[in-house]
Chains A and B, each alone.
Chain A
Amino acid sequence: MSFSVIWLVAKRELKSRLFAKATIISAIIFVVLIAGGVQVAAYFLNSTTDSSTAIGVSSEAEPLAQIMEQERQQTATGGDHELIYHTMSEVDAKEDLKNGDIEVYIAGTPSAPIFMFDGNPDGELVALGARAAEQYTLFTAIDNAGADSAQIQQELANIDVEILDINPVTSARQFDALKIVSSLVTIFLLFFALLQSASLIIVGVIEEKVSRVVEILLATIRPAELLAGKVLGIGLMALIQVLLFASAGVLSALSAGLFSLSDINIGVSVLSLLGWFLLGFTIYISLFGGLASLVSRQEDSGAVTTPLIFGMMIPFYLAIYLIPNAPDSIATKILSQIPFFAPFMMPVRVGFDAVETWEVVLSVAISVITVPLVIWIGGRVYSRAVLHTGGRLKLKDALRG
């Protein structure tokens, strides 16, 4: 194998596809769609998370509002949802309730509050108010008994409940939403890139076969060199596209304020996802290239493409559905060691933290060894099949030669 030859082939492949009008146009369309889509999504996300609830309070019930606010902060009821209190008279409040300017009006006394709604009472708010009323009553009683309610309140706030899980597997797992999402995004990108590149390499191989240029090429270079060059060229092309689309999405999200750069753990996790992407891509595309040479005409490419795409969906869906539901099952552990499954399943397992280091190392090793093997087998099928014209060559015959 001569790398300079592989690189020549790859460069031609890259150049002839990257600068094709269709590629440029579709890339622009995708970038616009992705960047625009993120902006639209950000608009909806921000409009729900930024909202706050306005609450009207009678001057008599004001102490209750203070306790509600403390309670809300301590127990984190309602998440980051902010409560804004306005002191107002009951007459004004009824007007505001009807207009929707406030969600609820709290009247009555702190120990016997009245929660006034304009239809659809908010159970969570009422529960919060009820707890506040209980505490108000309790603290009033404590004060009346001569003790310092403020100190008790302080001690209550300091209560720290710890959760200890003695199961070693589930206890080691800390779900990190960003990690899970980025691993899922990776396999989506892999799947997307594979779908696109699969058709590129299949069309490319058949094109060479149809135009018969392959006969001249194979008289000069080894089939495996030709196949490796094609995989490298189309791989680089897919990588450039994925990076372009990903950066369009990320830049758009940054500008919309969805997250800041400090949120992403750039480094090991991103690099390992990239590694899995490259491994998965190389394995699948080499196989596709070899199999594409079995057919002689573009019209027959479906005979090879369809089973391949269905085949690709199996590890993809297993990664999406099996792992979140059964991250520790034997099936998950075994399947994620198999080369064609690993690139889809391992990143997700890592995302869920449901994996031991040695398992990752082993599956990477197996996949890395598989790459030259697949290229060799693909090249073998390729060299046997590529000069075969007419009907579809049976895989068995191609392997046997």
Chain B
Amino acid sequence: MPGLEIKKLNKSYGSFRALTDLSFTVNSGELFGFVGSNGAGKTTTMRIALGVLKPDSGTVSFGGKQMDLSLRRRVGYMPEERGLYPKMKVGEQLIYLARLHGLSFKAARAAMEHWTEVLGVATRRDDELQKLSLGNQQRVQLASALVHDPDLLILDEPFSGLDPVAVDIMSNVLRERAEAGVPVIFSSHQLDLVERLCDRVGIVRDGQMVALGTIAELRHTETINWRVDAPEASSSWATEANIPGAVVIEDGPNALVQLPTGADDLAQRLLHAALAKSPVREFAAVKPPLADLFRHVVADPGEEE
């Protein structure tokens, strides 16, 4: 089933080019992580997807249909800059927003009660929003994005400023929504979180999508580094093993050896060479964390595509 489809978005603010031919798709049931450095164009993209901002060119469609007001009312949105009425009571506020999205008063109240319960702010329903701590305000903000049972979730930096418990609650909610078939797109600078949570990731730089795919796809490189922990091995055993195509990065009892990707036989030979010298406590492919990938992709303009 087609989810959110973003095709060839272009947007300029005066002479500043915010987005260039940006395209990606988020399928239903998919958690999509949207990463990129500050000012890369994430917020602009999300605002365009929401129809709050008009692109210079390009289209946004959902479920195969051009995004319009009636579709937009079915989207749950959490803007980067948090925004709710500071002097309105939490419960009233959530009911109001749910009703603006077309729910009846009764359904709106039930949804408000459900989400304040799930997100742990049920005891604060009758308090003005401004009396809550920032973290709790953030939970209310997420509740406001969820309260009308949206068909699509677009969340700009939903995790910033949350304590670990709240991060877990929020992660579970997003996971659970995705499993219910809702496409979820969120941006974040917490790359470990994105890595743990997301099915697919898109990395933007200067308004262009420079990397797009599953975490495994993004990690896919020509070579893989293998860590070998063989405490009794000599300081030059890996070099002496003389495996074709291997590049020894670190030698000794705790060696790091680079092998071509997919060369399982070579990896086995490396393991045997190590076992011949010493018991092996660890033999593992070192996957570069997303943070490294991110730095790599974002920092080096010559490297992409």
Please report the C-alpha to C-alpha distance between residue A154 and residue B242 in the assembled complex, in whole angstroms. 147
* Contact residues in A for B81 (Cβ distance below 8 Å): 212, 215
Q: 24 A-B contacts, Cβ less than 8 Å apart? A: A16-B85, A208-B85, A211-B83, A211-B84, A211-B85, A211-B86, A212-B79, A212-B83, A213-B84, A214-B83, A215-B47, A215-B83, A216-B83, A216-B84, A218-B52, A219-B52, A219-B75, A219-B77, A220-B72, A220-B97, A220-B100, A222-B69, A387-B52, A401-B54
A45 contacts the other chain (CB 8 A): no
Closest residue of chain B to A389 (Cβ to Cβ) is B81
B-contact 0/1 string along A194-211, CB 8 Å cutoff:
000000000000011001
Interface size on A (CB < 8 Å)?
21
* Contact residues in A for B125 (Cβ distance below 8 Å): none
Residues of A whose CB lies within 8 Å of any CB of B are 5, 8-9, 12, 16, 207-208, 211-222, 387, 401
Minimum Cβ distance to chain A for residue B92 (Å): 8
* Contact residues in B for A5 (Cβ distance below 8 Å): 100
Q: Which 10 A-B pairs have the closest CB atoms?
A: A212-B83, A213-B83, A212-B81, A215-B79, A219-B50, A219-B77, A220-B100, A211-B83, A218-B52, A213-B84
Please indicate which of the listed interface residues A16, A211, A222 has the most CB atoms of chain B within 10 Å of its own CB: A211
B88 contacts the other chain (CB 8 A): yes
> Would you list which residues of chain B between 69 and 105 have a CB under 8 Å from chain A?
69, 72-73, 75, 77, 79, 81-88, 96-97, 99-101
Closest residue of chain A to B54 (Cβ to Cβ) is A401
B279 contacts the other chain (CB 8 A): no
Once the chains bind, are A215 and B84 in contact (CB under 8 Å)? no
Q: Interface of chain A, helix or strand or loop or mixed?
A: helix
* Contact residues in A for B54 (Cβ distance below 8 Å): 401
Once the chains bind, are B82 and A212 in contact (CB under 8 Å)? yes
Question: Contacts A211-B86, A212-B82 given: A219-B51 contact, CB under 8 Å?
Answer: yes
Once the chains bind, are B88 and A219 in contact (CB under 8 Å)? no
Known: A216-B79, A219-B77, A220-B97. 15 other contacts (CB 8 A): A16-B88, A211-B84, A211-B85, A211-B86, A212-B79, A212-B81, A213-B83, A215-B77, A215-B79, A215-B83, A216-B97, A218-B52, A222-B69, A387-B52, A401-B54
Please report the C-alpha to C-alpha distance between residue A215 and residue B83 in the assembled complex, in whole angstroms. 7
Question: Contacts A5-B100, A8-B96, A387-B47 given: A219-B83 contact, CB under 8 Å?
Answer: no
Once the chains bind, are B100 and A217 in contact (CB under 8 Å)? yes
